[in-house]
Amino acid sequence: MNTPRQALVHRLPASAPDDVTALVQAVDRGEIDPRAIVAVLGKTEGNGCVNDFSRGLATQALKHAIARLARRDLDDVARDVAFVMSGGTEGGLSPHWLVFEVRDAPAAPATPAAPPVQASRAGATAAGPATEGVATLAIGVAITPAFLPEEIGRMPQALRTAEAVQAAMRAAGIADARDVHYVQVKCPLLTRARIEQAYGRGRDVATEDTYLSMGYSRGASALGVALALGEVSADALSDARVCRDAGLYSGRASTSAGIELMENQIMVLGNSTAWRSDYIVGHGVMRDALDVDAVDTALASVGLRMGGELRGPGRERVAAVLAKAEPSQTGAIRGRRHTMLDDSDIHASRHARALVGGVLAGVFGETQLFVSGGAEHQGPDGGGPVAVIARRGP
């Protein structure tokens, strides 16, 4: 009989892209087992563009810290732990790390017994400790092989991403795609040197614009998630539709491109009765940047209610908030003109992060929010997925 697993989530502050102090202190206090870390998501204070080296700096600092703390080889950590760094903390967003662990579940519940509540497909489990028969947070991680530059932003990236998402689901013991609530993907981008490598082999690339390559990579990866979760069909996908057909999207994908890798690193979050976690995850899909009803849907799916700013015990139960942000291509929000797409000084995705970050901060009373810009094929135009991980409460 397989030992039930337990997922743990830790939200830690960061004073700089290479600041691992909070992680080291949590390990020293016995709160985190560095050998059990399977993924780290980070918000860094770079510009989120091609030359955002804060992401690579953060990844290197975290890899070295985890290797040292876990007394593991650096290459083993790089192979086994997914590092997803999202640059850009515009507005009031705070740099931070989200550290995910997977451990063997304790033999007995750590809290007094209470009547279990069966989780719905939306992820709602409002009462009781993590007990048998209750769906709780499950985590699966997978990493694709490295892509060639000519594959980035095209169907090879989408198809391999879909295979990796399904592998991560199997690793997490999630059999039904409806039990998946959030899929985080870190994907590569094109640089001039990578483009020249492709040309040197007689190949072309999706785009010669290195900034646009981030969108193509995010878009192809998101379509791979949508394919894996049954949100789109394989015959609906082609190279020509990547970043061109906004009607194709995933309501559960969050993809972030960076210069620091050539593969896709993938983490699947869902709920499963095979796990004995003290957390659950749920999600909603924002139709636009102001859609707090979708945030309320995400909260309800984890047994919380908003009713204005989340306060008191409810706020304390929230372990992480993850969302996508993208300016609507129509140039309007609910019929009112916005100027995000016309600003030549600050890229539109940076405006969008600040806007959505402010909306969510007002709901959660918290600025350590994982708000990622660039939502190609991640939710409808101008909107995007929002996921909430919460501790199970009485």
pLDDT for residue 122 is more than 80: no
pLDDT tens for residues 249-260?
Answer: 999 999 999 888
What's the Cα-to-Cα distance from 380 to each of 166, 256, 383, rounded to whole Å? Answer: 23, 17, 5
For tokens 């997922």, name the residue: 7
pLDDT tens for residues 41-54?
Answer: 999 998 888 888 89
Domain boundaries, the chain: 5-104, 135-277, 278-393
pLDDT for residue 111 is more than 60: no
The burial of 201, by beta-carbon neighbours within 10 Å (0-12 exposed, 13-18 middle, 19 or more buried), is given as exposed
Sign of the Cα pseudo-torsion (75, 370, 372, 242, in order): positive
> Is 358 marked as a binding-site residue?
no
Q: What is the reported pLDDT for 325?
A: 93
Section 86-108 average pLDDT: 92
Q: What is the reported pLDDT for 130?
A: 41
Q: What is the reported pLDDT for 128?
A: 41
Fold entry, domain 135-277: 60s Ribosomal Protein L30; Chain: A; (3.30.1330)
What residues are annotated to the active site? 186, 256
Q: What is the reported pLDDT for 309?
A: 67
Section 288-315 average pLDDT: 86
Q: What is the reported pLDDT for 51?
A: 85
Q: What is the reported pLDDT for 125?
A: 38
> Is 309 marked as a binding-site residue?
no
Q: What is the reported pLDDT for 38?
A: 95
Section 145-169 average pLDDT: 97
Q: What is the reported pLDDT for 306?
A: 72
Fold entry, domain 278-393: 60s Ribosomal Protein L30; Chain: A; (3.30.1330)
pLDDT tens for residues 314-328?
Answer: 888 999 999 999 999
pLDDT for residue 339 is more than 50: yes
> Is 354 marked as a binding-site residue?
no
For tokens 């210069």, name the residue: 259
Q: How far is CA 215 from the centre of its chain?
A: 16
How does the average pLDDT of the chain come out, rounded?
Answer: 91
Q: What is the DSSP letter of 223?
A: H
Question: How many CB atoms neighbour CB 121 within 10 A?
Answer: 13
> Is 42 marked as a binding-site residue?
no
The burial of 247, by beta-carbon neighbours within 10 Å (0-12 exposed, 13-18 middle, 19 or more buried), is given as exposed
Q: What is the reported pLDDT for 3?
A: 83
Q: What is the reported pLDDT for 150?
A: 97
Gap between the Cα atoms of 325 and 108, Å rounded? 41
87: closest CA among 213, 216, 214, 182?
214
Identify the CATH assignment for 5-104 out of 3.30.2130.30, 3.90.1150.110, 3.30.1330.170, 3.40.50.360.
3.30.1330.170
pLDDT for residue 120 is more than 70: no
pTM of the model: 0.90
Q: What is the reported pLDDT for 49?
A: 81
pLDDT for residue 126 is more than 60: no
> Is 326 marked as a binding-site residue?
yes
270 versus 133: the higher-pLDDT residue is 270
pLDDT for residue 301 is more than 80: yes
The pLDDT > 90 percentage for the chain reads 81
Section 7-16 average pLDDT: 97
5-104 and 135-277, same CATH topology:
yes
